[in-house]
Structure 1
């Protein structure tokens, strides 16, 4: 996996920009660019400005995570650490990463904020266009290969925990038989199909007999990897 400095260098050179030119366009000292590219500096408060100049996202520059969603444009989504960005971030919304703790035998889930400073950064205008409320959004990592090629292990997804109505073809975080899954759901005459994309994983079926072991936690509204 490449480093922040390596990604910055590649993008800068791809635009035929010198360190001095990039520094001027992003409003940072040239020494900052040099320190990032040599690995001496792991972050900068100007990450948003650098991403916009380089037509990428802060998330990709810092973590190598590419926005896989269709709607947002290049600089509308990113990831950052609180210590790396000032609190004056204008019309941006910070979404924390969460883990889910399951209650054994209860089918209940508790959202737990991950012990990390990293968060996703979204423009308020994008949330408004999507009709999303920041209070209902939770970011989490995908684990496993069952949803490849849509989602890969350790991809990031954003869930709307207030959108619990099953729409055929939508991807949801669910609990089924006291296990957490990220799956496509489809309504059927006999219940609900829980669909994996990887061919090695069979479709699971929620029936009337097992419906009390099934719970929708939220719908995926964005993905990055």
Structure 2
């Protein structure tokens, strides 16, 4: 896996920018760019500006994570720690923390717990507004397992809208079924609801009238990154 500095250098060279020119465009000293590329400086104070100049995302520069097909344009999302935002204009951005789900006995007893993780997803408010999304309804979480490959891979990140629980056939949701958490595609049928895995080694599950009381939709996936 490449480092922050290696990714920065490769993108800079691909743009045919000198370290001095990149520094001028992003508001960073040339010496700081050089130190980052050598691995001697991990400063992310101007990460938004660097990403915008290099036509990438802060999330890719810092973590090597590519924002996937349903994401906004390159400058509209990033992922980095709260302290790195201290010197940036935060007014146009919304920070979404990562969550885990705590399950207890009985349906409806799912609790969202903020992960002990300094990183947060960062979206432009304008992107949320265009999609009709509201910060209060958004939860970021990691995908576990391989059942949704090739759409989602283990430890990909997804963003859920917990206000959107009406099932649209083929869309992906976080659900609880029979006391377990799943990230799955759903489809309404005459006999109930199909819970669909994309990996061929995993069989479809079905919610029937008898098991509907053990089924709950937690939210719809509105973004994915891996």
For 2:49 and 2:223, the matched residues in 1 are separated by 23
1:165 aligns with 2:162: no
Cα pair 1:98 1:139 within 8 Å, conserved: yes
Cα pair 1:43 1:62 within 8 Å, conserved: no
Offset from partner CA, 1:84-118 (integer Å, 9 cap, x none): 12263230110000011111344521100010110
Tell me what 2:111 maps to: 110
Offset from partner CA, 1:37-67 (integer Å, 9 cap, x none): 1112223210000000000001111111111
Aligned length: 225
SS, match of residue 75 in structure 1: helix
SS, match of residue 10 in structure 2: helix
Offset from partner CA, 1:183-222 (integer Å, 9 cap, x none): 0000000100000000000000000111111100000000
SS, match of residue 182 in structure 1: strand
Tell me what 1:199 maps to: 200
Q: CA deviation at 1:69?
A: 3.5
Give the TM-score normalised by structure 2.
Answer: 0.96
For 1:43 and 1:103, the matched residues in 2 are separated by 41
SS, match of residue 51 in structure 1: helix
Q: 1:45 to 1:115 in 2, by over 3 A?
A: same
1:33 aligns with 2:36: no
SS, match of residue 16 in structure 1: coil
For 1:40 and 1:100, the matched residues in 2 are separated by 38
Tell me what 1:17 maps to: 17
Tell me what 2:58 maps to: 58
Task: Out of 68-77 and 118-127, give the one that drifted further.
Answer: 68-77
After superposition, where does 1:120-199 map in structure 2 within 5 Å? 120-199=121-200
Cα pair 1:104 1:178 within 8 Å, conserved: yes
Cα pair 1:107 1:177 within 8 Å, conserved: no
After superposition, where does 1:90-101 map in structure 2 within 5 Å? 90-101=91-102
For 1:199 and 1:213, the matched residues in 2 are separated by 25
SS, match of residue 80 in structure 2: strand
The root-mean-square deviation of aligned C-alpha atoms, in Å, is 1.1
The answer for unaligned runs of 5 or more in structure 1 is: none
For 2:38 and 2:210, the matched residues in 1 are separated by 60
Tell me what 2:90 maps to: 89
For 1:91 and 1:107, the matched residues in 2 are separated by 35
Task: Out of 61-70 and 132-141, give the one that drifted further.
Answer: 61-70
For 2:144 and 2:37, the matched residues in 1 are separated by 31
SS, match of residue 66 in structure 2: coil
